Structure 1
Amino acid sequence: MSSDGKTGTGAQGIDPEQLWLRPAESRRGRRPSFSRDAITAAAVALADAEGLDAVTMRRVAAEVGAGVMSLYSYAPDKETLLELMVDHVSGELTVSDPPSGDWRADLKTVARLQRAHMLRHPWLPAALTTRRVPGPNTLAFLEHALAVLRPTGLDGAAKLEVFAQITAFVAGHVAHEIAQAEVSRSPERAVAEGRYLAAVAADGRHPELAEVLAAPGRPLTPEATFNRFLNRLIDGLDTD
C-alpha cells in the first residue's frame, strides 16, 4: 500500500476489495482528461506491441498525455496495473451459449478460447505466472468454466483445481508456441537442429529416440498440436 493509503502491492499485497469493489477516487479540481480504463487500455496496447517490459508508468503516462504522478491515483504501481490489464483483456472472453452438458467438449472450448485470447495478447502467459486477484471480467469467465464442470460432480475445490490446471496448460503451451514461432523465423537454426537430431539418432546410444524420430510424422501445425495435447489432458481427467 502506498503512503497515502491507496491500493498498492507493498508488504501486504493488493487489496482486492479496494481494487475491484470501490471506484477509483475522484480528484478535486479540474476533471482529468483520462480514466483508469484509458490508462489500462494504453498499457495493454504497449504490452501487445512491445511486451511487458515496455509497460512502465512513464510510458503509459506519455500515451495518455498525463504526468506520471497523476497516474498513481488509478494505478499506484506496476503490479496493480498488471492486475487491471489482465482483467481488462479478460473482457474479451465472452461466452454467449450456456454449457451443453458435455463437460469435456465444453472444457475444450474454454481452453481454445483461452489459447486464442493469449495469442492475441502474447504477454499474458508471463503475466499469469504470478498470482492474480480476479476482477469482474475474470470472474465472469471463471463462472462459466465452473458451470461447464457442474456435471462432473467434483467438489468446489476440485473444480477450481481443474480450471487452474487447464489455464496453466494453455499458458505454457502458448508460451512455447510463441517461442517456436520465433525459431521458425530463423531457417538456419531449424536446419541446424535437424542435423543435430539426425546425428544423435544415428549414434546408437539413443535407440528409443531414434525409433521416435523414424516414425511417421503427425500434423505439426500449432492448432493440430494444441488439440492433440488438449485431448490427452481433458480426456484423461479423472472425476472420481
Structure 2
Amino acid sequence: MAQEQVTVWARPERGTRGPAAVHSRAELAAAAVALADRDGLAAASMRGVARALGTGQASLYRYISGRDDLLDLMTDAVAGEVRLDIPLSGDPVEDLVALASRTKAVHLRHPWLSDIPPEPLRLGPRGLDHLEYALSALASAPLPGRVKMEIIGLMNALVAQFARTELQESRGRPGRREAQTAYLSGAAARGAHPRIAAALAHGAGAGPAQLPAELFEGMMRRVLDGLLASGPS
C-alpha cells in the first residue's frame, strides 16, 4: 500500500529523532534561494544547501523529506516578497493587474522560479496569504468561488509565462527579435496570409515588435476584463 504523503506544512518543523536540530526551515529556504539566485535551480540541491549551512546532507532530513519539500519552502519564501499590504481599490481588474505586476517582479528577481515544476496547489503560508488577497480583490465580482479560483490560477500562469519570456528576451541574441519581426512583416506583405496582414495593420501600435514588459499590463487587463464579464459558468 502506498504511503500517504503529507505536505511539508502539515508536519512538525523539526524531526524528533537523532541529534538536536540546530537549523530551521527558514534557514534552509534562505540558503536554497541564495544558491538558486546565484547559480540556478540545479544548484539548490540537498547537497548544496547542506554545504552552504555547514552541515551534513543527512541532517537536512530532520527538517524536510526531500527536494520537493525544499522547492515548496523556496517558492513560499519568495512569495512573501509580494506586497500584500497595499489597500484594494474595489476595482477587481485594476487590483488584480497591480497584484500580477508585483508578482511578476518577484519572478524576475528570482529567475529560477520559471524552472520550478508547476503544481496548481504548491501553496504554503505565504502562498495562502497571496491567494486570500487575490480573492479579496474579487470579492465584489458576482462569480462562484470555483470560477474565482480559476481566474486567479490563470492570472498566475500568465504572470509566470510573461516573466519567463522577459527573462529569455534579456538573455537573447541581439537582433533576433527584430529579425523575427521582419520575417513576420514580410510574410504578411506578400499577401499569402491576409488575416495576419489585417491583424498587424489594425494594431500597428501593439505589433509584434513590442517587448513582453510593454504588453503585460494591457494584456492582463483585457484577459481579466473578459473573464469577469463572462459571468458564472
Q: Same fold (TM over 0.5)?
A: yes
Give ranges in structure 2 of 5+ residues lacking alignment: none
| Cα drift, residue 213 of structure 1 | 4.9
CA distance 1:98–1:199, change in 2 (3 Å): closer
Deviation readout 1:83-133 (Å, 9 max, x if unpaired) = 111111111123113422211211111211211111111122332623444
Deviation readout 1:143-188 (Å, 9 max, x if unpaired) = 11111111002222111111111111111111122112222xx225
Alignment partner, residue 96 of structure 2: 107
Give the conservation status (yes or no) of the 8 Å contact 1:111–1:167: yes
Match of 1:15 among 6, 25, 36: 6
Alignment partner, residue 180 of structure 2: 193
1:159 aligns with 2:176: no
Which letter maps to 2:231? T
CA distance 1:65–1:159, change in 2 (3 Å): same
Which letter maps to 1:187? P
SS of residue in 2 equivalent to 1:151: coil
Alignment partner, residue 25 of structure 1: 15
Alignment partner, residue 205 of structure 1: 192
Distance 1:193 1:13 in 2: 50
Distance 1:99 1:12 in 2: 43
| Cα drift, residue 82 of structure 1 | 0.5
Distance 1:14 1:175 in 2: 31
Distance 1:222 1:233 in 2: 15
Distance 2:189 2:3 in 1: 57
RMSD of aligned alpha carbons: 2.5
| Cα drift, residue 75 of structure 1 | 2.1
- Please, what TM-score do these two structures have when normalized by structure 2? 0.84
Give the conservation status (yes or no) of the 8 Å contact 1:103–1:151: yes
Give the conservation status (yes or no) of the 8 Å contact 1:14–1:80: no
Which letter maps to 2:6? D
Match of 2:231 among 204, 227, 239: 239
- Please, what TM-score do these two structures have when normalized by structure 1? 0.82
CA distance 1:13–1:89, change in 2 (3 Å): farther
| Cα drift, residue 12 of structure 1 | 5.2
Deviation readout 1:55-74 (Å, 9 max, x if unpaired) = 21111111111111111111
CA distance 1:116–1:13, change in 2 (3 Å): farther
Deviation readout 1:27-67 (Å, 9 max, x if unpaired) = 554553x3221111111112222222222111111111111
1:58 aligns with 2:64: no
Match of 1:140 among 104, 122, 129: 129
SS of residue in 1 equivalent to 2:111: coil
1:220 aligns with 2:231: no
SS of residue in 2 equivalent to 1:187: coil
Give ranges in structure 1 of 5+ residues lacking alignment: 1-10
Which letter maps to 1:119? L
SS of residue in 1 equivalent to 2:140: helix
Which letter maps to 2:184? L
Percent of residue pairs bearing the same amino acid type: 37
